[in-house]
Amino acid sequence: MDEQSVPAGFGDVDRSGASADLVAYLRFVNHLSQVRGVKERSRRALGLRSGDRVLDAGTGLGLDAGLIGLEVGPTGLVLGVDASRDMIRAACAAKDAGLGQVGFALGDAVALPCPDGAFDAVHAERLLQVHREPARVVAELARVLRPGGRLVSVEPDWGTMAIDPGAPDVVRRLVRYCAGAFPDGWTGRTLGRRLRAAGLVDIQVEPEVVVLTDLSLALKVMNLGPFIDEAAASGAISGEERQVLLADLADADREGDFFFAMTTFRAIGGRPEAPPSAGMGGPTGKGVARSDRGSPLAPDQLVLDLLDHLSRIVALGAAIEREPVEIDGCRLSASELHLVDSASRYAGMGLSGHAARLGVTRGAVTQMVRRLEEKGCLVRVSDPGDRRGARLALTGTGRRAAAWHVALHARIEDEVRGVLVAMEDDERERLLAFFSRFETMLARSIAERDEMK
Ligand SMILES: C[S@@+](CC[C@H](N)C(=O)[O-])C[C@H]1O[C@@H](n2cnc3c(N)ncnc32)[C@H](O)[C@@H]1O
């Protein structure tokens, strides 16, 4: 990363326009022995056991998730969640194929796609500093931790940055600029109280001091180069102070006298054990439904809430499939989009084949094809002698519409998969049985309605 500031990028990787740089930056940093050492001590602090279920929030390239996966073994489960699709893609690509216990899902750390108490341990490194609402993140991480489980949160504190040489006043203003460039650049020192505020207990806070004596490494790893430039551009230090500082640092580096240090803090906290009578999930409290304030919900209220949710989910699912979308300025109805999708997946298929796949008449497909040709999404092509008749070929707009549709479904599936992966086997089986009954019930209702017509 030379041009773009790291803090600005990691807050919203996908929209930063610098995803590839941020991925490359993490890959580089992850290989440094000092970073590996911090990560190893964090894993130890998690107190992992074989078979544990662990969440790694803000997983980035999934390095911690993979190493945690080795510790919990094939009977364990590790879910790496990240708000960036590009990071999740990179994490999936980097994952060791043999680590079936490790999975990745797109998700926001303030609204994790996981039930209360789903994990035995939760790990989050360098996530809070890039988040505007660190207190909400910690509360959410504590929510998904089971009673008795352990949270390990690791964050740098940019206010502890020490640089030598440099005029003390200039360095002080630079440090203040760097810490202020992050949404929560002083977060390291706040970790203990943040975990306490989220209801965690037995909190310990440990320092990890990173020392660098190689200027080029500090410029890259600590983003010091862009920070010094940005501080000068913003007026925090003057242009002349910037030049003098860079020259002093370069001179010192040549003499082997450059020094940089910063403290990262690791806070470890546990979720209090649930009282034995707390619910139907036994001593761990797993499976206990809770209100937002943490008290168990009354069974009747829970049933009402579930029915309410179910109606909303059915309505939302129908809306997703019903609403028209606009791609490249071209408005497509849901049925047109499905035909475009079908044409993209089954390039050699004739019109009758598409009609059969989509459950509509051939006449309806012919009409849709005409409209889609007018909208510039596809063209009909026919090879002389091919008895299947015309086939459909997508234009650039058609291909983009199909890719949008595939991505929409992939995103929903990713998130649902994240929730399912975090569940216990018996929870999944109960859900499967429920869905089967729900499906049968809906199919029966449709049949009864058709009979009444
Ligand atoms: C500095 S990287 C750290 C990655 C990883 N934890 C590590 O130590 O290598 C911060 C990560 O947090 C992710 N992130 C930022 N905001 C997030 C949010 N609201 N929810 C989940 N992840 C988020 C970013 O996409 C990025 O991958």
- Cα–Cα distance for residue pair 128/125, rounded to 1 Å: 8
Q: State which ligand 1 atom lies nearest to the alpha carbon of 13.
A: 25
Q: State which ligand 1 atom lies nearest to the alpha carbon of 39.
A: 8
Return the amino acid letter for 23: V
pLDDT of residue 62: 96
Q: 98 and 43, same structural domain? A: yes
- Cα–Cα distance for residue pair 96/102, rounded to 1 Å: 9
pLDDT of residue 293: 39
Q: 312 and 270, same structural domain? A: no
CA-proximal residue: ligand 1, atom 9 (nearest): 60
Q: 380 and 307, same structural domain? A: yes
Name the residue of 23, 110, 123, 127 whose CB sits within 8 Å of the most ligand 1 atoms, as the mutation to test its pocket: 127
CB 178 within 8 A of CB 303: no
Asked if residue 356 belongs to a domain, the reply is: yes
Q: What is the pTM of this model?
A: 0.66
Name the residue of 16, 46, 82 whose CB sits within 8 Å of the most ligand 1 atoms, as the mutation to test its pocket: 82
Q: 382 and 317, same structural domain? A: yes
Q: 345 and 262, same structural domain? A: no
pLDDT of residue 288: 42
pLDDT of residue 19: 92
Asked if residue 1 belongs to a domain, the reply is: no
Q: 416 and 273, same structural domain? A: no
- b (16+ CB within 10 A) / e for 87-98: bbebbeebbeee
pLDDT of residue 349: 85
Q: 414 and 266, same structural domain? A: no
Total domain count for the chain?
3
CATH number for the domain that contains residue 81: 3.40.50.150
Q: Is the peptide bond before 296 cis (omega within 30 degrees of 0)?
A: no
Domain boundaries, position 203: 6-284
Q: 90 and 201, same structural domain? A: yes
Name the residue of 130, 140, 210, 264 whose CB sits within 8 Å of the most ligand 1 atoms, as the mutation to test its pocket: 130
Q: 339 and 192, same structural domain? A: no
Residue pLDDT, tens place only, 268-278: 999 998 765 44
Ligand 1 pocket at CB < 6 A: 10, 13, 26, 30, 58-60, 63, 81-84, 87, 108-109, 125-127, 130-131
Ligand 1 mean position to 10 CA, how many Å?
7
Asked if residue 342 belongs to a domain, the reply is: yes
Query: pLDDT digit of tens for each residue in the chain (453 aa)?
Result: 444 456 568 989 998 889 999 999 999 999 899 999 999 999 999 999 999 999 999 999 999 999 999 999 999 999 999 999 999 999 999 988 788 889 999 999 999 988 899 999 999 999 999 999 999 999 999 999 999 999 999 999 999 999 999 999 999 999 999 999 888 899 999 999 999 999 999 999 999 999 999 999 999 889 899 999 999 999 999 999 999 999 999 999 999 999 999 999 999 999 998 765 444 333 333 444 444 434 455 666 677 767 766 776 776 676 666 678 888 888 898 889 999 999 998 888 888 888 888 878 889 999 999 999 999 999 998 877 766 678 899 999 999 988 888 888 877 777 787 788 888 888 887 887 788 777 767 777 777 777 776
Terminus-to-terminus CA distance in the chain, angstroms? 65
